[in-house]
Structure 1
């Protein structure tokens, strides 16, 4: 028996979900809508069906925070398989090439070559996203063009690999017995990075091809998968633990505690004046009411506020 939806707080909330393999991000959003009893649910960055781990959702008015969460750095744990390439750059796709066993054996005997290639893929790099992706090419999704038999090459774009920590390679075998090398890695990267493409490019740099066999997102900015609601709980109808907009905003941005009058004024759209020694200029500041609610995200410039993102206020106004 499933649980009845729990009434959503007036400001909604942010929900951290530990996505299971085989589910699309859209599937998780749909399940969350039923569990939370609202249609207004969105996410701050998708995960492929093969991937597991942290998916950040917003419900109700808290969806207004998602635009500020999308650009956060991400951390993944992954297994990269060297020796074979696939059309999707992960184990879900058909194999398109396999390395000569002698070349793979030589690589296994020279782990320093792998370490050097990993270093070359660390820091600011130019990356072409995987062809089987949701990026649109002339109005059509790239994965639809690939499935239609088209050759798709997406433009390279700048991303930053803040950390690429790889373990020692270990021998592996494909299902048909073909030799391979597996490398477990932890990758911290900027938004927009395709970890599948990173595996592809590592294999290409080493001359043996590569793809992902496992991918798990463990962190999005300051949020960790260890604090997430297991997907099975949502499937059973549980609402999970919602983070308040105020707690999320103050984890991401500097905060200013408003007086009761400032709360009313900001909620009615008025600009506030701050002591610049107490409230330094910043592009985003969390404006918090005396009762701890988030009134809005504001820009502070030369001691004056400007509303960037508004939230429902206790007296019914909107910042």
Structure 2
């Protein structure tokens, strides 16, 4: 069942530098993601299932799943025997992964979104998204129903979440709105090193969440961000002859060079966040994320150019005022 060690090691260096180790200057967030990918890819290369790993390590299956999904970090004391079982035995690489695991656990415990009040009211997927947003070099957002959260003004966010008041408690609303505020401020402070684009369906600009006054204020904020070149926004018009994505919305985040690809053409540094009516998740499967990014690029090319989008939004503000 298992491959020889050299084959395994060749298969798991996709996200490392030419020597197969963490690139100098990598953030703990990016490095932690790479540790998870090493474990998953080494397991698959060796022909083991997650249950095989759980039985060998005498862990619960849920622990293996949570480690590979990134829901929890792995302790260095657990990582060493796991690497040995997966035939990852290069001494320098093992030492590097162990050091990274220690940094990751310290960093995660100190983050604001890991405080008890936020952990209680934010989903696991959203906390992971926040972690990646802090390290992203570019963010590409597609939305059919509403203004993306990172671009929302507080009054719009409040009106939007109020629509779900029967399903979300007042305390949950408070902490989710606070998290959205912190995320937005962090994003705006990083514009420059961070590049952001958005494709919004025409319906987003017509759906006056919060009423005419609040929605006009929100659209004026969109104009301000666009005119200051803090974000590039295109409207996907009703008349477009390119099919809408079946996903109501998703975010593609790059944690490194957008052009870097695997031998099969998958994007190396991309992750995706998406929501449904009842769940949200961060997706790290390279092929799946690459397909969504290609879909985003098609939508972007078919959408109304930024200048025309700005003209449409200005007209919409005049109508609302």
TM-score category, normalised to shorter length: under 0.3
Decide which structure has greater helix share.
Answer: 2
**TM-score scaled to structure 2, two decimals?**
0.24
Structure with bigger RCO (C-alpha 8 Å, 6+ apart): 1
Structure richer in strand, relative to its length: 1
